[in-house]
Amino acid sequence: MTDKSIKELALSVGTPVEKLLEQVRDAALPQRKADDIITSEQQNALVNHLKKIHGQDDGHAGKITLKRKTTSTAKVASTSGKAKTINVEVRKKHTFTKPDPEQIKAEALAKAQAEQQARANVQAMVEPKAET
């Protein structure tokens, strides 16, 4: 991408200039008029912002898909009494997604608080017995 005006970029992308200006403002870029120049770095920032808004922000990051195919044969008796061999193919697909680091942090904090509360409850139960 090269440096262009907002008007030229809107023409090459095929969107109205007003809509592109609104998207540029949403992306917190400094351009405010149709004749303002937008650099290639700013264009990349705009594309990344739009991808993030539309949910396409690195769709495959942290995601692994395992595919497994097994084939075997099964012997089945036919109506005439002869054994018939059938090929059986089983396909399995399992997708693992990497959890969000913030979610892991929140779960660890909740677990630590629960353990601390449990220790306090046990301590409160033990102390009255020691006094008698």
Banded model confidence at residue 58, pLDDT cuts 50, 70, 90: low
Percent of the chain residues past pLDDT 70, beyond the cut: 90
The whole-number average pLDDT for the span 38-63 is 80
Characterise 55 by phi-psi region: left (phi > 0), alpha (psi -120 to 50), beta (else).
left
Of the candidates 1, 23, 26, the residue with the CA atom closest to the CA atom of residue 12: 1
Predicted confidence (pLDDT) at residue 19 exceeds the cutoff of 60: yes
Banded model confidence at residue 131, pLDDT cuts 50, 70, 90: low
